[in-house]
Amino acid sequence: MPTPRTTPDAEKEIAALVAELEQAEAYEVRLRQLISDAKDQLAAGNASIALSMLNSALSDIDSSTDVVAPTRGRG
């Protein structure tokens, strides 16, 4: 069975979407690790360190809007 052919524009769009997905997955892994680390700090009684870590995460989220909500147009 022959495979469907894609246009160069479609191939570029697919590659861009795959790259965007990989970037989002890496972002998710970083956030999950940070949450885990913050929980460990709370369990150890270090609330101020945990709060600092979470504040840093919020700052990272605010500055990473291109990962959360891409700004480039599709169409």
Question: For the chain, which residues make up each domain, given as ranges?
Answer: 32-61
User: Tell me, what amino acid is at 21?
Assistant: L
| Confidence band of 71 (pLDDT split at 50, 70, 90) | low
Cα distance between residue 66 and residue 75, in whole Å: 17
Round to whole Å and give the CA distance between 50 and 27: 19
pLDDT in tens, 34-68: 999 999 999 999 999 999 999 998 988 888 766 55
Give pLDDT, residue 60. Answer: 83
For the entire predicted model, the pTM comes to 0.67
pLDDT computed for residue 70 by the predictor:
55
Handedness of CA 46, 52, 56, 62 (dihedral sign): positive
* Cα 7 to Cα 26: distance, rounded to the nearest angstrom: 29
